[in-house]
Amino acid sequence: MTTSIAPSADVSEAVTLGAGTKVWHLAQVREGALIGENCIVGRGAYVGPGVSIGQNTKIQNYALVYEPALLESGVFVGPGVVLTNDTYPRSVNPDGSQKSSDDWLPVGVIVREGASIGARAVCVAPLTIGRWATIAAGAVVTKDVPAFALMVGVPAKRRGWVGKAGQVLFPHEQFWVCPSTGDRYVEDGETLREVQEQE
Protein backbone atom coordinates (compact mmCIF):
# COMPACT_ATOMS: atom_id res chain seq x y z
CA MET A 1 0.00 0.00 0.00
CA THR A 2 1.34 3.39 -0.96
CA THR A 3 0.22 6.83 0.12
CA SER A 4 -1.62 9.05 -2.33
CA ILE A 5 -1.56 12.86 -2.19
CA ALA A 6 -3.58 14.91 -4.67
CA PRO A 7 -1.51 17.53 -6.56
CA SER A 8 -3.66 20.34 -5.15
CA ALA A 9 -3.28 19.21 -1.51
CA ASP A 10 -0.94 21.13 0.79
CA VAL A 11 0.92 18.55 2.88
CA SER A 12 3.94 19.63 4.90
CA GLU A 13 7.15 17.72 4.40
CA ALA A 14 7.23 17.33 8.20
CA VAL A 15 4.17 15.05 8.23
CA THR A 16 4.09 11.30 8.81
CA LEU A 17 1.58 9.48 6.59
CA GLY A 18 0.93 5.77 7.04
CA ALA A 19 0.84 3.33 4.16
CA GLY A 20 -2.36 3.41 2.13
CA THR A 21 -3.41 6.86 3.36
CA LYS A 22 -5.03 9.18 0.81
CA VAL A 23 -5.09 12.99 0.99
CA TRP A 24 -7.58 14.48 -1.46
CA HIS A 25 -7.84 17.76 -3.38
CA LEU A 26 -7.28 21.06 -1.55
CA ALA A 27 -6.76 19.39 1.84
CA GLN A 28 -4.11 20.85 4.14
CA VAL A 29 -2.06 18.75 6.57
CA ARG A 30 0.25 20.83 8.77
CA GLU A 31 3.73 20.13 10.10
CA GLY A 32 4.15 17.46 12.75
CA ALA A 33 0.82 15.78 12.06
CA LEU A 34 0.88 12.00 12.37
CA ILE A 35 -1.67 10.09 10.29
CA GLY A 36 -1.83 6.31 10.53
CA GLU A 37 -2.23 3.67 7.86
CA ASN A 38 -5.20 3.46 5.50
CA CYS A 39 -6.72 6.84 6.38
CA ILE A 40 -8.64 9.26 4.20
CA VAL A 41 -8.32 13.05 4.42
CA GLY A 42 -11.12 14.43 2.27
CA ARG A 43 -11.32 17.39 -0.09
CA GLY A 44 -10.69 20.72 1.63
CA ALA A 45 -10.13 19.17 5.07
CA TYR A 46 -7.68 20.74 7.51
CA VAL A 47 -5.43 18.82 9.91
CA GLY A 48 -3.51 21.08 12.30
CA PRO A 49 0.12 20.86 13.40
CA GLY A 50 0.88 17.96 15.71
CA VAL A 51 -2.55 16.34 15.35
CA SER A 52 -2.41 12.57 15.83
CA ILE A 53 -4.77 10.33 13.84
CA GLY A 54 -4.97 6.53 14.17
CA GLN A 55 -5.27 4.01 11.36
CA ASN A 56 -8.43 3.41 9.31
CA THR A 57 -9.79 6.87 10.16
CA LYS A 58 -11.84 8.98 7.73
CA ILE A 59 -11.75 12.77 7.79
CA GLN A 60 -14.48 13.82 5.35
CA ASN A 61 -14.65 16.88 3.09
CA TYR A 62 -14.06 20.29 4.69
CA ALA A 63 -13.72 18.99 8.24
CA LEU A 64 -11.45 21.09 10.47
CA VAL A 65 -9.31 19.16 12.96
CA TYR A 66 -7.43 21.71 15.04
CA GLU A 67 -4.39 20.90 17.14
CA PRO A 68 -3.79 19.28 19.57
CA ALA A 69 -6.59 16.86 18.64
CA LEU A 70 -6.04 13.13 19.12
CA LEU A 71 -8.12 10.69 17.08
CA GLU A 72 -7.72 6.98 17.74
CA SER A 73 -8.16 4.21 15.17
CA GLY A 74 -11.34 3.75 13.18
CA VAL A 75 -12.76 7.22 13.82
CA PHE A 76 -15.21 8.84 11.38
CA VAL A 77 -15.27 12.64 11.11
CA GLY A 78 -18.11 13.75 8.85
CA PRO A 79 -18.23 16.59 6.31
CA GLY A 80 -17.85 20.06 7.78
CA VAL A 81 -17.16 18.88 11.34
CA VAL A 82 -15.15 21.27 13.54
CA LEU A 83 -12.95 20.14 16.42
CA THR A 84 -12.07 23.39 18.20
CA ASN A 85 -9.00 24.22 20.27
CA ASP A 86 -9.57 27.58 21.97
CA THR A 87 -11.65 27.71 25.16
CA TYR A 88 -11.75 31.51 25.30
CA PRO A 89 -11.40 32.68 21.68
CA ARG A 90 -10.33 36.28 21.12
CA SER A 91 -8.52 37.95 18.24
CA VAL A 92 -6.96 40.53 20.56
CA ASN A 93 -5.66 40.77 24.12
CA PRO A 94 -7.43 43.00 26.69
CA ASP A 95 -5.01 45.82 25.79
CA GLY A 96 -6.12 45.66 22.15
CA SER A 97 -2.92 44.07 20.82
CA GLN A 98 -3.38 41.23 18.38
CA LYS A 99 -2.99 37.80 19.96
CA SER A 100 -0.08 35.61 18.93
CA SER A 101 0.53 31.92 19.44
CA ASP A 102 2.19 32.79 22.78
CA ASP A 103 -0.98 34.44 24.13
CA TRP A 104 -3.16 31.37 24.46
CA LEU A 105 -2.95 27.67 25.24
CA PRO A 106 -4.56 25.35 22.68
CA VAL A 107 -6.64 22.52 24.13
CA GLY A 108 -7.79 19.54 22.11
CA VAL A 109 -10.60 17.16 21.42
CA ILE A 110 -9.86 13.48 22.02
CA VAL A 111 -11.88 11.00 19.96
CA ARG A 112 -11.61 7.40 21.09
CA GLU A 113 -11.60 4.25 18.93
CA GLY A 114 -14.48 3.72 16.53
CA ALA A 115 -16.40 6.90 17.39
CA SER A 116 -18.32 8.77 14.66
CA ILE A 117 -19.05 12.48 14.39
CA GLY A 118 -21.85 13.45 12.00
CA ALA A 119 -21.81 16.19 9.38
CA ARG A 120 -21.50 19.80 10.59
CA ALA A 121 -21.19 18.82 14.26
CA VAL A 122 -19.02 21.06 16.43
CA CYS A 123 -16.97 19.65 19.32
CA VAL A 124 -15.88 22.39 21.73
CA ALA A 125 -12.55 21.56 23.39
CA PRO A 126 -11.48 20.40 25.85
CA LEU A 127 -13.49 17.18 25.80
CA THR A 128 -13.26 13.45 25.14
CA ILE A 129 -15.62 11.43 22.95
CA GLY A 130 -15.77 7.84 24.18
CA ARG A 131 -15.23 4.61 22.22
CA TRP A 132 -17.84 3.86 19.53
CA ALA A 133 -19.98 6.86 20.47
CA THR A 134 -22.01 8.59 17.76
CA ILE A 135 -22.46 12.35 17.51
CA ALA A 136 -25.51 13.24 15.40
CA ALA A 137 -25.22 15.61 12.46
CA GLY A 138 -25.38 19.25 13.52
CA ALA A 139 -24.86 18.57 17.23
CA VAL A 140 -22.78 20.87 19.42
CA VAL A 141 -20.81 18.86 21.96
CA THR A 142 -19.62 20.77 25.04
CA LYS A 143 -19.01 17.96 27.57
CA ASP A 144 -17.30 14.57 27.66
CA VAL A 145 -19.23 11.79 25.93
CA PRO A 146 -19.38 8.26 27.35
CA ALA A 147 -18.53 5.22 25.24
CA PHE A 148 -21.40 3.97 23.00
CA ALA A 149 -23.50 7.12 23.63
CA LEU A 150 -25.76 8.62 20.96
CA MET A 151 -25.52 12.40 21.31
CA VAL A 152 -28.09 14.70 19.67
CA GLY A 153 -28.91 18.42 19.71
CA VAL A 154 -27.59 21.82 20.78
CA PRO A 155 -26.11 21.42 23.30
CA ALA A 156 -25.77 17.69 22.69
CA LYS A 157 -27.50 15.33 25.12
CA ARG A 158 -27.51 11.55 25.24
CA ARG A 159 -30.60 10.19 23.47
CA GLY A 160 -29.72 6.50 23.58
CA TRP A 161 -26.95 3.99 23.09
CA VAL A 162 -25.33 2.65 19.91
CA GLY A 163 -23.29 -0.50 19.31
CA LYS A 164 -20.16 -1.05 17.28
CA ALA A 165 -22.26 -1.43 14.11
CA GLY A 166 -23.55 2.12 14.64
CA GLN A 167 -27.18 1.10 15.12
CA VAL A 168 -29.30 2.19 18.06
CA LEU A 169 -29.45 -0.50 20.75
CA PHE A 170 -32.76 -1.76 22.14
CA PRO A 171 -33.43 -2.94 25.69
CA HIS A 172 -33.97 -6.67 26.27
CA GLU A 173 -34.17 -8.03 29.82
CA GLN A 174 -31.14 -6.58 31.66
CA PHE A 175 -29.17 -5.90 28.47
CA TRP A 176 -28.99 -3.47 25.57
CA VAL A 177 -28.85 -5.41 22.29
CA CYS A 178 -27.61 -4.53 18.80
CA PRO A 179 -30.26 -5.34 16.15
CA SER A 180 -27.50 -5.95 13.57
CA THR A 181 -24.97 -8.12 15.40
CA GLY A 182 -26.84 -9.37 18.46
CA ASP A 183 -24.03 -8.07 20.68
CA ARG A 184 -25.12 -7.33 24.23
CA TYR A 185 -24.19 -4.41 26.45
CA VAL A 186 -24.80 -3.57 30.11
CA GLU A 187 -25.71 -0.13 31.40
CA ASP A 188 -23.95 0.99 34.56
CA GLY A 189 -25.28 4.35 35.62
CA GLU A 190 -24.33 6.80 32.91
CA THR A 191 -22.00 4.39 31.09
CA LEU A 192 -22.32 1.32 28.90
CA ARG A 193 -19.98 -1.63 28.52
CA GLU A 194 -19.81 -4.75 26.40
CA VAL A 195 -21.02 -7.99 28.00
CA GLN A 196 -18.26 -10.47 28.72
CA GLU A 197 -18.79 -14.11 27.67
CA GLN A 198 -19.28 -15.35 31.24
CA GLU A 199 -22.08 -12.88 31.98
For each of the domains in the chain, give its residue range(s) and CATH number, in order of start: 4-91+106-162 (2.160.10.10), 165-199 (no CATH)
pLDDT of residue 190: 85
Strand bridging mode 109-111 / 127-129: parallel
Q: Are 111 and 72 in contact (CB under 8 A)?
A: yes
Q: Is the pLDDT of residue 188 over 90?
A: no
Q: Shortest CA distance to 63 belongs to which of 135, 131, 130, 128?
A: 135
User: What average pLDDT does the chain have?
Assistant: 95
**If you average pLDDT over residues 146-150, what whole number do you get?**
97
pLDDT tens digit string along 95-144? 999 998 888 899 999 999 999 999 999 999 999 999 999 999 999 999 99
Q: Are 128 and 142 in contact (CB under 8 A)?
A: no
pTM of structure? 0.94
- Classify residue 175 by burial, with Cβ atoms within 10 Å: 0-12, 13-18, 19+: middle
Return the number of other C-beta atoms located less than 10 Å from residue 101's C-beta: 7
- Classify residue 66 by burial, with Cβ atoms within 10 Å: 0-12, 13-18, 19+: buried
pLDDT of residue 199: 59
pLDDT tens digit string along 81-106? 999 999 889 999 999 999 988 888 99
